[in-house]
Structure 1
Amino acid sequence: MTDLVAANQTDGEKIMVERQDGRVALVTGAGRGIGRAIALRLADDGLDVAVNDIAANRSGLDEVVALIRAKGRRSAGLIADVSSEGEVGDMVQGVVNELGALNVMVSNAGIAQVVSLLDLSVDDWDHMMAVNLRGMFLCYKTAAQQMIRQGGGGKIIGAASIVAHRPFALLGHYSASKWGVRGLTQAAAMEWAKHNITVNAYCPGIVGTAMWDLIDEKLSEEEGIQRGGALRKYAESIHLGRVSVPEDVAKFVSYLASPDSDYMTGQSVMIDGGIQFA
C-alpha cells in the first residue's frame, strides 16, 4: 500500500512522505547517531525496520526498537558484528524470520580512529578494514543473496564519507576504507542491476555525532588548538553555514530507499552542506 502521510520531524515540522507499508528495512549500527536517525526516518516512511548494533550498544538499540514500534511499525533488534560472516548471515536470517523479508539494506555500521599514518599499527589498519570494508562487503553480499531468493528487486545503501572524496589528515586508514566503499558500491551496482537491485552510498560531511567529537578532539590536539577548534575551522568552509545533524543524512537515505530512486544506482553522493575543497 502506498499513500501520503504527514511525518513528525525532530523540529516539529510536518512534511509529506510516501508511505511504503509492507516493505522491510535493516539498518546496521543503528543504536545511535546517523544509524538511529535513518531507522526512525524509514519507520516514518512506513517501512518495518530491523535494527542492528554490537552488544556494547544494546541499550541504545532497544530504545530505537521501542521508538519504531511506538510509530506503529514492526521492529526487531539484532546484535551482530558486521565483520563476521557468520553473524551477518544470522542477522539477515533473523530479519526474515522476524519481519518476513528484506527489501532495503542500509549498511551504516562503521568505526573511526584518528592517528597519523606513521603511528598506525598493522592491527589498527586491519581492524578498520574489517569493520568498514569487509563488513560492508558482507552486508551487501548477504542482503543481495536474500533479495535474489525473494525474486529480485531491492535497495542496498552503504555508508561512505566525505573522506571517500577528500582525505583528512590523521584519517588515512579511515579514508582508505571509505574509498573502498565507493568502489565496492559501483561494482555491486553493475553486477546486481540484472536482479533489479540498486546499490548506492551516502557520504556525510561533518556531522554532530560522537564520531566527529573524537575526530575534533584529536585534530585539535595535533594542531595545538583548543578542543572544538578543528571542527570550527572545517565548518567555516561549509557554504550552508552549519555542520549537519544525523537527520540531514537520514532524509537522503529515505530517498535512496524509496521508489523515487529506482533509476539511480552506483552513486556515492555527498551530503556535506557544500564544503569548499581547498
Structure 2
Amino acid sequence: MANKVAIVTGGGQGIGEGIALRLAKDGYAVVVNGRTQSKLDNVVQKIKDAGGEAITFAGDVQFKAVNEEMVAFALKEYGRLDVFVANAGIDWVDTIEETPEQQVDNVLNINLKSQIWALQTAPAAMRQNGEQGGSIVLASSIAGMEGFEMLGIYSATKFATRGLVQAAAKELAVDNIRVNAYNPGIVLTPMWDEIDARFAERKNVPLGSTRQAFVDSILLGRGEQPDDIAKYVSFLVSDQADYITGQSLAVDGGIKFQ
C-alpha cells in the first residue's frame, strides 16, 4: 500500500521522465509506462537511487486494454490511484496534404485515443479514494493553441486534448476528480531533435536552424527543459491546485498567450 500513487505514460524519456522523477520526489509511488523496457528500467532506477518508489509497466497505451491492465496493476501493487498523467505522444512533420494515412493513424492513436482510454479507465479507480478523488493530467501543446505549419495532424490532436479536458472536467467534478492539461513549448528532448531533423529535410534548411528559430522566440531566453513541465504538473496534482479543473495552461517561457 502507498499513500499516493501516480501513473505516468510515455515515462521512459523526455517530459514523461521528468514528470516521473518529480512526482517520485514529491512522495508518489510511480508506475512508469512506456514501450521500451530498458528506458523504463533506467528511469525507475534513478527514482530508487534517489530514495523513491517506482515500478515499470511496459505497454502501448494507444490500446484501451493496456490502460485497463495498467490501472489494475497500479491497484494490485499499491492499493490506490491518485494521479494519471497521460503524457505519451508522438509527432509527425509534414504538410497535411502529404501525411501518409499510416502516420495519421499513428498520431491520432497515440496522442488522442490513448488520452480517451485514460479518461475511461482512471476514474473508476480514483472513485475508490472517496472524497479525496484524484487528478488526471493530459499532454497538450502550444500547437494545440495555434496550428503549426508542418505539424497539422499533431496540432489537431493537441486541440482535441483541450476539448477532452473541458468535457471530462465537467463530467468528473462530481467525483472530485480534476482534469487539466499542460501545453509545452520548445522542450529540448529527443522529440524536438526529430522535429528539427524533419524540418531540415522537408524545408531544405540547415540542421538545428528550425529549433533555434523557435528558441529565439521565447521571451525567457532559453529552451524548455522537462523539469519546467514537471514542476507545473507537481503543482497541478497537489492540494494547492485543488480548485483548478478544466484548464490547459501554456508552460512555454513566453511564446503563446491566453
Structure 2 length-normalised TM:
0.95
Matched, 1:253 2:236: no
Q: Which residue of 2 aligns with 1:23?
A: 4
What residue in structure 1 maps to residue 168 of structure 2? 188
Match of 2:222 among 236, 242, 267: 242
Percent pairwise identity:
44
| d(CA) in 1 for partners of 2:128, 2:68 | 14
User: Following the alignment from structure 1 to structure 2, what is the Cα–Cα distance between the partners of residues 193 and 79?
Assistant: 30
Deviation at 1:130, TM superposition (A): 0.9
Q: Is the 8 A contact 1:51 1:78 kept in 2?
A: yes
Question: Partner of 1:16 in structure 2?
Answer: none
C-alpha separation in 2, matches of 1:23 and 1:210: 30
Q: CA deviation at 1:253?
A: 0.6
Q: What residue is the counterpart of 1:89 in the other structure?
A: 68
After TM superposition, which residue ranges in structure 1, 4 or more long, deviate above 4 angstroms?
A: none
Aligned to 2:130, the other structure's residue is in SS state: coil
What is the aligned residue count?
Answer: 255
CA distance in 1, matches of 2:193, 2:51: 33
Q: What is aligned with 1:168?
A: 148
The 3 A distance-change label for structure 1 pair 276 and 131 is closer
- Tell me which moved more, 137-146 or 31-40: 137-146
Q: Which residue of 2 aligns with 1:121?
A: 100
TM-score w.r.t. the length of structure 1 is: 0.88
**Partner Cα distance (1:196, 1:252) in 2:** 20
Query: Structure 1 counterpart of 2:71, which letter?
Result: V
Q: How big is the shift at 1:276? A: 5.7
Q: Aligned runs of 1:74-85 on 2, under 5 Å? A: 74-85=53-64
Checking the alignment, whether the CA contact within 8 Å between 2:64 and 2:117 is kept in structure 1 is yes
Q: Secondary structure at the match of 1:117?
A: coil
SS in 2 for 1:128: helix
The equivalent of 1:48 in structure 2 is 29
Who is 1:227 aligned against? 207
Q: Give unpaired runs (5+ residues) of structure 1.
A: 1-20
Structure number with the bigger relative contact order (C-alpha 8 A, sep ≥ 6) is 2
